[in-house]
Structure formats: structure tokens, C-alpha cells
Structure 1
Amino acid sequence: MLLLGDEVVATATLWQEKDVNYQRLQGGRWLYPTKRRPYAIIHRMAVSFQHQGYHLSTALFTHLFETARAKGLTYLRIDTHAKNKKMQAIIARRGFTYRGQLAGDRVAYDLDLDATK
């Protein structure tokens, strides 16, 4: 989470458990199969409406990447709704690659942090 004084201005969850929703990817393939490489998932990313437009997602992603590396996790996955073009653009700018669709009209991406050094 990102704070500005005492106010939460952005938040996300770095999920380290397997997610059954990520097992059925349609129209593509993950960079690494689940059995071959452990991964973390970025969930519930949000920036306060009053603070949008200040590129806080960049700072939040940087923090999430550092946290994942500190935990020994360098393979990340993320998804968003297919209609959320703004989030899709943010995800792509941070280096994630589109991999296919998940149930519930969601689009999925992944990133190998070791490849971004």
C-alpha cells in the first residue's frame, strides 16, 4: 500500500498461493507452466480516485516487484477485466506480456522479473 501522510492512496495484494482461476488459460499459454516455476499474483490493485493521474501505479508496481524479489519470487501474473483498457495499458507499460483469457471475461498477463534486470 502507498501512503500520503495518513491517507492510503494506492493498494494491491501480492498473492503467493495458487489460484485455481489461473489454471484454465484460454487462447494462449503462460510463459512458465505452474509446475515448473512458482509465481505470485498481483490482485486488487487500486489507486484513490483523488490521486489518479499522478502515476502512483508505477510506484506501487515498483514496490510490488521489490517485495516479490525479497521473497524469492521472480515470476508474476496479473489479470484484469477485458473492458478495463486503462489497467491493461498500465500492465503492459510495466513489462507484462498478454497471455490469454481467464473465466469471467478477464485477460491475463505475466512477467519474468529476472528478464527485466
Structure 2
Amino acid sequence: MFEKYTLTKADHIYSSSIWHILKQAIKKRKLEGSKQWQDGYPNENIIKNDIENGYGYVCLNEKKEIVAYIALIFDIEPAYENIEGKWLSSPETPYAVIHRLAVSQENPVKGLATWIMQEIEKFCKEKDIYSIKVDTNYDNIGMLRVFEKLDYTYCGEVYFRGGARKAFEKILA
């Protein structure tokens, strides 16, 4: 089903489309009663920084329209250094971080977030990175389902902007 989709590095020409999708996700989280992403994060500056640092990726459909966004970071995530719990990998193990996965709500595609996460796993292996760390709000049922489906392990809690987030890790084979 996803053979016509591609995941590619974001460029500044995509900024307004990315921001449009993130605003949809912010609104969706609010309608679900969540406080996640209701504090001015993410924002357009975050997108700009993601793109400038090479973190931003867009998912394009067969018409080359942006249908999702994700940040894939191969740097240390400072908030992950102070986990209340324990990561699966040792502190020296290189890892990738996933942030800001958002799927367009205009024509949502069932399973797209899962497919994107699987593609990210391939990108990581190509870079010889075999650990992926990610977090989400305790009430983000959609992401929690994706993590469960893809065999991510709950490792504890990390804190962003004063709020606790559930932290997960997956060791890639």
C-alpha cells in the first residue's frame, strides 16, 4: 500500500506545508483533551531549525504532496540523559531520536505513522545506528499504539518543558 510513498529530507520550500500539518496535529491533540503541544511547541522556528540541522523529513504521496512530517535526530537528546527509569542500551551506545511525528488530517492514511517509523528504522541501520529512542505524552494513544505495534520497550519517563513524557527505546536487529 505504501510503495508509492517516499520519505525524504525536508527542504525550506516545504516549511509552510510542514507547519500546516503540525498545526493540524496541535489541534487534534487539543480536541483529544491533551495538553501535549498546547504550549507553543512545536512552532515554525522548530521546523526551521529541524531543516537547517538536517533533522526534518517529509513523507510524500504519489502526487508528491506532503502527507506527514518527522524529525530524525542523530545527536544526543539532553532530556534523555536524565531518564527516570533505564534505557535498554548502555550510555555509550549511539542512538537516533524521533520527535514531532505528525500526519496530515485532511486525508489521513491508516498505518502511515507505522510505515514512517519502519522507514526510519531502515535509515538508522544504513547509518549503523541500532538504537532508537522516542517519547510521547502519556495520553497520545495513537503514538503509544504505534510503539506497541513496532515492539518499542517502555523505559521510564523523561521531562520536556516541565512535563513528563513516556520514553521508549527499540534495539534494531
Q: Secondary structure at the match of 1:50?
A: coil
Structure 2 length-normalised TM: 0.61
| Residues 1-117 of structure 1 aligned to structure 2 (within 5 Å) | 1-4=58-61, 5-26=63-84, 28-35=85-92, 37-103=93-159, 104-114=163-173
How far 1:53 moved relative to its partner? 4.7
Q: Secondary structure at the match of 1:46?
A: strand
Give the gaps of 5 or more residues in structure 1: none
Give the gaps of 5 or more residues in structure 2: 1-57
Question: How many Å separate the matches in 2 of 1:110 and 1:99?
Answer: 7
Question: How many Å separate the matches in 2 of 1:32 and 1:90?
Answer: 21
Question: How many Å separate the matches in 1 of 2:90 and 2:108?
Answer: 35
Runs of 4+ in structure 1 deviating by more than 3 angstroms, as ranges, are none
How many residue pairs were aligned?
112
Partner letter of residue 90 of structure 2? P
Question: How many Å separate the matches in 2 of 1:96 and 1:30?
Answer: 11
Larger of the two Rg values belongs to structure: 2
Partner letter of residue 94 of structure 2? P
C-alpha RMSD of matched pairs (Å)? 1.2
Q: Which has more helix, going by share of residues?
A: 2
**Larger RCO of the pair (alpha carbons < 8 Å, separation 6+):** 1
Q: Secondary structure at the match of 2:82?
A: coil
Partner letter of residue 73 of structure 1? I
